[in-house]
Amino acid sequence: MPGADIVTQNDLLIIGPGVLGRLVAEKWLKEHPGCKVYGQTASTDHHSELTNIGIIPSLKGSTISQKAPYVIFCAPPSRSDDYPGDLRVAASNWNGEGSFLFTSSTALYDCSDNRLCNEDAASLAIAIMKKRPRARIFLGCDNKPLSRQEIMDAVNKSGKFDTEFQGFTGTGGPLGKRMENSKTRADIGWEPQYPSFTEFLGVDS
C-alpha cells in the first residue's frame, strides 16, 4: 500500500476492484470520510480510473506494509492461475479487526448467472462488513425469484428496448434458479433498493 504508514480503523483493501469493487469503494468512502481505500489489480490498465474515484491502486503481488482492518475479495477466478492461493494471500493482508469478506456469484448453486444488481450487491457487502460477522455465509437476492424466461418476458413487457427478445439460443442447462434470503436480511438488516426485477423495470409483476 503506497503511503500507508498509518492504518486507520476504517481503511479498506479491495482485491479485484472491478464493477462491484468500485461501487463498494465509492459507498465506503462516503460513509467513512478520511479513510483510505486500496485496490489490488491484476494489471495497471485501469489504475488511473481507480485513482480518480479515490482508490489507491497497486498490482497483485505488491508488498503491503500494513494490514487492513477491512478486506473484500471481489476478484474473479478467471483472472487467476491460483485462485485459492490468491485468497490466502488476501486473508494474510487482513489485521483481524474489522471484516474479511469473500464474494462469489451464486454459481455455487449450480447456475452460472447472478441476478442481484451491482448496486444492491455493493450495499449488501458494506452492510455485512459493518456488522463484522465471523465465519458466516450470506445470500444476496430480492426474494421474488424469476426464471430467465420470466425475466425476458418482463423486459419485453417494459418496452424499454427496440428489439424484442425472441428466445434462448441453447436448450441445455438450467433456465434459472430460485433463492430466498430472509435470514440474511434479518441478520444484517438489509433490503435491496428494488423489491423485485419487475419493479426495477417499472412493469406489473
Which cell goes with 19? 464493477
Q: Is the Cβ–Cβ distance between 2 and 58 less than 8 Å?
A: yes
In the block, which residue shows the cell 428496448?
161
Which pLDDT value is given to residue 115? 46
What is the domain range of residue 17? 12-103
135, containing H or E segment: none
How many C-beta atoms surround the C-beta of residue 48 within 10 A? 9
3-state secondary structure 82-95: CHHHHHHHHHHCEE
Q: Give the pairing type, strands 68-73 and 37-41.
A: unpaired
Determine phi and psi for 113, rounding to 5 degrees.
-105, 155
DSSP 133: -
Q: 72 lies in a domain?
A: yes
Report if residue 188 sits inside a domain. no
DSSP-derived secondary structure letter, 158: H
- Which pLDDT does position 32 carry in this prediction? 96
Distance from chain centroid for Cα 52: 20
166 domain-assigned: no
Q: What is the DSSP string of 7-75?
A: --TT-EEEES-SHHHHHHHHHHHHHSTT--EEEEESSSTTHHHHHHTTEEEEETT---SS-EEEEEE--
66-87 tens-digit pLDDT: 899 999 999 988 888 899 999 9
Report residue 2 as a C-alpha cell. Answer: 503506497
> Cell digits for 181?
434470503
CATH number at residue 67: 3.40.50.150
35-44, 102-111, 152-161: least confident range: 102-111
Nine-digit cell at 143? 426474494
Q: Is residue 157 assigned to a domain?
A: no
Q: pLDDT tens across 155-180, in order?
A: 888 888 888 888 887 655 555 566 77
Digit-coded pLDDT (tens) for 17-28: 999 999 999 999
**pLDDT in the model for residue 111:** 37
For residue 43, tell me if it sits in a domain: yes
Amino acid identity of residue 13, one-letter, is L
Domain-embedded: residue 80: yes
In a domain, 151, yes or no: no
Q: Judge whether 158 lies within some domain.
A: no
| Domain count across the chain | 1
pLDDT of residue 171: 58
